[in-house]
Homo-oligomer: A and B are copies of this chain.
């Protein structure tokens, strides 16, 4: 099997680096097609972990650097995983993040990592939006994408029709509801969805105005927060209130 630079149309993708590759192995072992280990890689602990969990025939010590040169974009990468893509669906009995048209790969990965860090394991993406299987997303997620469910929807309407027991909270600037005094509603049999817009445009006001708009109060000295920072504050505050509510 020959491997070329990642394309969205492929039914497989790559993990670049030891950290995301170990996350792949630990969470989606059944999807691993191949693990390439650079012949100069000497971390015995990582190697032991790989051989313990992955069928030996699927591990290849690459004496040629070819595969690393093709996939690693100038960076120093010593471990590459190849895995079969998979479908996942959101858990209807748990809280969600909803990202409407995320357009930056690094940001998407970072947002997934922060969500998981504050115990949200289900991510809805409203299209268009970048391909979450892109190795750049996986890398910036530090492999956390293998521990969350991600599902694409064509519109907010489609999402709401499928997940009817979720209260949506929409993070946007056009509101006077401020996060630091806001109380999330943890009512029985309902779950929460924290929604964030595109990096440049934010959430569309007309579509989201009736979905509990919330604003993070920032100084007038800056125009807005970076989207990954805004999301991280929101999941931090949500997680804190949820734990205090129990």
**Which residues of A does B touch, CB under 8 Å?**
19, 110, 113-114, 116-119, 142, 144, 147, 180, 216, 218-219, 221-223, 225-226, 228-229, 232-233, 236-237, 240, 243
Whether B114 pairs with A229 at a CB distance below 8 angstroms is yes
Who on chain B is nearest to A236 by CB? B233
Question: For A226, what are the chain B residues with a Cβ–Cβ distance below 8 Å?
Answer: 110, 113-114, 228
Question: For A243, what are the chain B residues with a Cβ–Cβ distance below 8 Å?
Answer: 180
Question: For A228, what are the chain B residues with a Cβ–Cβ distance below 8 Å?
Answer: 226, 228-229
- With A117-B218, A117-B219, A117-B222 known as contacts, the answer to whether A229 contacts B110 (CB < 8 A) is yes
Who on chain B is nearest to A233 by CB? B236
Known: A117-B219, A147-B221. 18 other contacts (CB 8 A): A19-B223, A114-B225, A114-B226, A116-B219, A116-B221, A116-B222, A117-B221, A117-B222, A118-B219, A119-B219, A144-B221, A216-B236, A225-B232, A228-B228, A232-B233, A233-B233, A236-B236, A236-B237
Complex CA gap A2/B152 in Å reads 51
Complex CA gap A117/B240 in Å reads 22
Contact sample, A vs B, 6 pairs, CB 8 Å cutoff? A113-B222, A114-B226, A180-B243, A229-B229, A233-B233, A236-B237
Complex CA gap A223/B147 in Å reads 13
Question: For A113, what are the chain B residues with a Cβ–Cβ distance below 8 Å?
Answer: 222, 225-226
Question: For A218, what are the chain B residues with a Cβ–Cβ distance below 8 Å?
Answer: 117-118
Partner of A222 from the list B142, B180, B229 (CB cut-off 8 Å) is B142
Instruction: Report the minimal beta-carbon distance from A88 to chain B, rounded to whole angstroms.
Output: 16
Instruction: Report the minimal beta-carbon distance from A54 to chain B, rounded to whole angstroms.
Output: 21
Question: For A147, what are the chain B residues with a Cβ–Cβ distance below 8 Å?
Answer: 221
Question: For A219, what are the chain B residues with a Cβ–Cβ distance below 8 Å?
Answer: 116-119
Instruction: Report the minimal beta-carbon distance from A232 to chain B, rounded to whole angstroms.
Output: 4
Partner of A225 from the list B117, B221, B225 (CB cut-off 8 Å) is B117
Question: For A180, what are the chain B residues with a Cβ–Cβ distance below 8 Å?
Answer: 236, 240, 243
Question: For A117, what are the chain B residues with a Cβ–Cβ distance below 8 Å?
Answer: 218-219, 221-222, 225
Question: Of A116, A216, A223, A236, which is in contact with the most chain B CB atoms at under 10 Å from its CB?
Answer: A236
Instruction: Report the minimal beta-carbon distance from A218 to chain B, rounded to whole angstroms.
Output: 4
Complex CA gap A229/B147 in Å reads 20
Question: For A232, what are the chain B residues with a Cβ–Cβ distance below 8 Å?
Answer: 225, 229, 232-233
